[in-house]
Amino acid sequence: MLLFLFFILLFHGFYSICFRALEKDILNSFPNVVISILKLVKKLAKTYVTIMGSVFITLILVGAGGYFGLPLLFPNLNEDLSIYLEEEDLDGYLEEEDLDGYTKTEDLNAEGIILQTKNNESQTAANIFWNVFAYEKIPDTGLNITTSGNSKLNVVFDGALMLRLGSTFMGDTKYNITLDILGVGNRTTAIYAGINSALGTDWEVPCNTHIFFETGILPAGTYSISIFWSSAIAPAAGWSQLFVLDEYPRSIYVQEIAG
């Protein structure tokens, strides 16, 4: 709007200057070309001023008409718009009963949803020797979990162990580490070492153990999870030992997942 007004005043000034100059014969001493140009400018300025003035007046009339006329034509306009802002009309989006459907347990028990988690961590020292072929439970590495049915279990065991070979050890040695879910199944990993000649000194090898076991769909019940170990191969000479350190924790982590 201000820009329109600026151009109106600018062209009006040109128009006035040219008009007065021509009326008072001030430019009689100038060439005819200059006079013709000024006459053309006078004509253009007069036309532009007329157009811009009409536009400016039209904008004023439309704005005033809308400001004063709309309330007369639509007397309830403000009241009709206010219904979208009234607090009671927005309560429906915040009422607790309308959100309950998204938080009910039965709606979350879709396939793949984690229903519960449990874990057990231990740092109790323990060891097993090359001549123990019967499975033994590693101390403090068990837990029980009660499931709701139509679900499966994801179980992870992680532990840091140390394999020690005696100074006269020769041949092969192997130990099995087994994650067992009583009545369901198990998963086993192995720690192995083999050398052809005696080392002449005790040798220790750190071993990181990771076992993952995903069951099938299980009925509701309580399941016992434990970690066992045993020797599988005895060396031809000397001895070996597998042990867990009290400063390095070992853990079982279990998730029940909806089927």
User: Domain residues of the chain, as ranges?
Assistant: 2-82, 112-258
Looking at per-residue pLDDT, the higher value among 101 and 240 belongs to: 240
pTM: 0.58
Stretch among 33-37, 79-83, 91-95, 170-174 having the lowest mean pLDDT: 91-95
Nearest C-alpha neighbor of 173 from the set 237, 130, 113: 130
Q: What is the CATH number of domain 112-258?
A: 2.60.120.760
Other Cβ atoms less than 10 A from the Cβ of 46: the count is 16
Contact between residue 155 and residue 179 where contact means Cβ atoms under 8 Å apart: yes
Angle between helices 2-23 and 32-73 (to 10 degrees): 140
Cα torsion 20, 24, 26, 31 to 10°: value is: 90
Model confidence at 93: pLDDT above 70: no
Which tokens hold the place of 202? Answer: 């005790």
∠ at Cα 106 (104, 111), nearest 5°? 125
pLDDT of residue 259: 83
